[in-house]
C-alpha cells in the first residue's frame, strides 16, 4: 500500500499507473511438440502469498480511493526452453534475488513437478519443448485526488 | 536453443491495449534486466527504469539498444529511496511490472 501511495505522489495530475502481476494460482509447466501441448501441470499446490498480497494491495488502494481502475485484462506469459533443466535453471536465476527462501513443502512439490515434467519430456523425445505458462493480470489505474490534496501537491 | 520469453508478445499487446506512451515520461519500477522496457521505450518520450537488483540493472545497461540511449536511463535503486529523492508530479505514467509486494 505504501508503494502505491508513493507512486501516486510521483504521478502528474492526469497520469496513470500500469500494474502487472501474475495470478496467485501460479504457472503451469507444459511439454509441447510442434506447438501442441501434450502435458501440463501446475507448479504450485497453494496460492502464492506474494501475489495474494499484490491483489490485496491493489484492492485496498481502490477501496481507499487512492486509485480508480480504468481498464484491466489478463494474458499468458510463456517462457520456452529446449529442456527441463534449462527452464529450471533459468527460473532459479530469475527468482534468486527475491527475498526469503521458499516454503520447504512448496520446494519439494516443485521438485516433484519438475521430475514428472522431465520424464514426460524424455518420453516425447525429439522435438519436445518445455514451456512455462504464467497467467498475469494487467490494469490501468488513475490516481484519485480530493481538492485539498491537489492544492497541496500544486503548492509543493 | 536459448530461453524465449513471450515470443507471442502477449504482454506487449496487453500493455499497448491499455497504455498510450506517446510523449510520456515513464517510470518503470522493477524493470529487472530491461526485458519489458525495450518493448515500449521507443514509443515514450523518456523512461526512467529502476530496480534494486544490481546484476539486472547492469545487464539492462549493457544491452540498451543504441537508438534508445537518449531516452532510457536505468537506475540501481530501491523504490522507497527513489521516491524519497524525487519531487511530486514528475511522471506521466508509472509501470509496476511484476513487482508489487
In sequence order, which residues have a C-beta less than 8 Å from that of residue B100 and are 6 or more positions away? Answer: A3, A4, A19, A21, A53, A54, A57, A58
- What phi and psi values does residue A119 have, to the nearest 5 degrees? -60, -45
Q: Do A3 and B79 touch (CB under 8 A)?
A: yes
Q: Which domain holds residue A25?
A: 2-155
Report whether A44 contacts A26 (CB < 8 A).
yes
Q: What is the pLDDT of residue B1?
A: 58
Q: Is A127 left (phi over 0), alpha (psi -120 to 50) or beta?
A: left
Q: Do B3 and A20 touch (CB under 8 A)?
A: no
| CATH code of residue B57 | 3.40.50.150
Give me the residue label for grid cell 502477449: B10
DSSP-derived letter for residue B67 is: G
Q: What percent of chain A has pLDDT over 90?
A: 60
Q: What is the pLDDT of residue A97?
A: 67
In this model, does residue A106 exceed pLDDT 80?
no
Q: What is the pLDDT of residue B41?
A: 97
Start-to-end CA distance of chain A, whole Å, equals: 23
Q: What is the pLDDT of residue A100?
A: 59
**Range A35-43 average pLDDT:** 93
Residue A70: all three cell numbers together: 480504468
Q: Which domain holds residue B43?
A: 20-96
Q: What is the pLDDT of residue A99?
A: 57
The tens digit of pLDDT for each residue in B9-35 reads 999 999 999 999 999 999 999 999 999
Determine, yes or no, domain membership for B90: yes
In sequence order, which residues have a C-beta less than 8 Å from that of residue A74 and are 6 or more positions away? Answer: A23, A135, A136, A137, A138, B14
- Higher pLDDT: B99 or B96? It is B96
Residue A11: all three cell numbers together: 504521478
Mean pLDDT of chain A: 87
Determine, yes or no, domain membership for B65: yes
Cα–Cα distance list, A146 to A67, A150, B88 (Å): 11, 6, 16
Total domains in the fold of chain B: 1
Question: Tell me, what's the ipTM?
Answer: 0.94
Q: Is B89 left (phi over 0), alpha (psi -120 to 50) or beta?
A: left
Total domains in the fold of chain A: 1
Q: CB of A54 within 8 Å of any CB in chain B?
A: yes
Determine, yes or no, domain membership for B86: yes
Report whether A71 contacts A123 (CB < 8 A).
no
In this model, does residue A144 exceed pLDDT 70?
yes
Q: Do A79 and B6 touch (CB under 8 A)?
A: yes
**Range A7-30 average pLDDT:** 94
Taking only residues 5 to 44 of chain B, the set having a beta carbon closer than 8 angstroms to any beta carbon of chain A reads: 5-8, 10-11, 13-15, 17-19, 27, 29
The tens digit of pLDDT for each residue in A57-104 reads 999 999 999 999 999 999 999 999 989 999 999 988 887 766 556 678
Q: CB of A92 within 8 Å of any CB in chain B?
A: no
Q: What is the pLDDT of residue A151?
A: 44
Q: What is the pLDDT of residue B62?
A: 96
Neighbour-count burial of A78, counting CB atoms closer than 10 A to its CB (0-12 exposed, 13-18 middle, 19+ buried): buried
Determine, yes or no, domain membership for B101: no
HEC string of chain A equals CHHHHHHHHHEEEEEEEEEEEECCCCCEEEEEECCEEEEEEECCCCCCHHHHHHHHHHHHHHHCCCEEEEEEEEEEEEEEECCHHHHHHHHHHHHCCCCCCCCHHHHHHHHHHHHHHHHHHHHHCCCEEEEEEEEEEEEEEEECCCHHHHHHHHHC
Amino acid at each position: 500500500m505504501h508503494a502505491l501511495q508513493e507512486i501516486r505522489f510521483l504521478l502528474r495530475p492526469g497520469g496513470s499507473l500500469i500494474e502487472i502481476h501474475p495470478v496467485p494460482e501460479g504457472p503451469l509447466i507444459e511439454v509441447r511438440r510442434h506447438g501442441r501441448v501434450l502435458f501440463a501441470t501446475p507448479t504450485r499446490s497453494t496460492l502464492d502469498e506474494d501475489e495474494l498480497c499484490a491483489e490485496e494491495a491493489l484492492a485496498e488502494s481502490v477501496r481507499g480511493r487512492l486509485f480508480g481502475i480504468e481498464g484491466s485484462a489478463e494474458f499468458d506469459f510463456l517462457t520456452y526452453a529446449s529442456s527441463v533443466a534449462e527452464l529450471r535453471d533459468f527460473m532459479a536465476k530469475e527468482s534468486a534475488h527475491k527475498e526469503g527462501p521458499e516454503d520447504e513443502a512448496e520446494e519439494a512439490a516443485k521438485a516433484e513437478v519438475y521430475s514428472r515434467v522431465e520424464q514426460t519430456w524424455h518420453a516425447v523425445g525429439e522435438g519436445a519443448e518445455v514451456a512455462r505458462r504464467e497467467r498475469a493480470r494487467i490494469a490501468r489505474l488513475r490516481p484519485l485526488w480530493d481538492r485539498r490534496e491537489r492544492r497541496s501537491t500544486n503548492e509543493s | 536453443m536459448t530461453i524465449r520469453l513471450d515470443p507471442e508478445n502477449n504482454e506487449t499487446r496487453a500493455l499497448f491495449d491499455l497504455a498510450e506512451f506517446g510523449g510520456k515520461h515513464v517510470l518503470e519500477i522493477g524493470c529487472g534486466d530491461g526485458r519489458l522496457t525495450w518493448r515500449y521505450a521507443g514509443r515514450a518520450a523518456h523512461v526512467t527504469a529502476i530496480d534494486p537488483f544490481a546484476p539486472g540493472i547492469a545487464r539492462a545497461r549493457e544491452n540498451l539498444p543504441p537508438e534508445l540511449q537518449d531516452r532510457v536511463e536505468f537506475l540501481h535503486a530501491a523504490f522507497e529511496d527513489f521516491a524519497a529523492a524525487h519531487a511530486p508530479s514528475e511522471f506521466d505514467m508509472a509501470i509496476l511490472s511484476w513487482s508489487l509486494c
